Amino acid sequence: MTKAVTPHSSCDKPGSSKRLCPKCLNWDPRPEDGSGPGMGYCLKRDIVTAVRCECEYYEEATPSKVAARDREIYGQIEEEGDEEEED
């Protein structure tokens, strides 16, 4: 049995069917959290929240922005073969 998704209050307004969070750079669905469907962690707000349809922090997660964020978090990951061997 799947839990029903409770929409965020910003999705209750007529005509607001844009589910922004899944396409946002600040969104982490946190499946390990057990929060349920439609819930996730917002890095910008620092809270677990339902998917929003309106948000002042929305930033589209383009491939280049995701790569830049990952470099900021994890540092530059060297490709295999690029590492210098120590003697």
Express as a percent the part of the chain with pLDDT over 70: 69
d(CA 58, CA 65) in angstroms, rounded, equals: 13
Confidence of residue 16 (pLDDT cuts 50, 70, 90): low
pLDDT at 6: 64
Find the farthest-apart pair of alpha carbons in the chain and give their distance in angstroms, rounded.
Answer: 67
What is the full DSSP assignment across 73-85? HH-PPPPTT-SPP
Domain range annotation of the chain: 11-74
Please compute the mean of the pLDDT values over residues 19-39 and round it to a whole number. 82
pLDDT digits (tens, 9 = 90+) for 67-83: 998 888 788 766 555 55
**Residue 60 confidence (pLDDT) above 80:** yes
| Phi and psi based region of residue 32 (left: phi greater than 0; alpha: psi -120 to 50; beta: remaining) | alpha
pLDDT digits (tens, 9 = 90+) for 31-45: 766 677 778 899 999
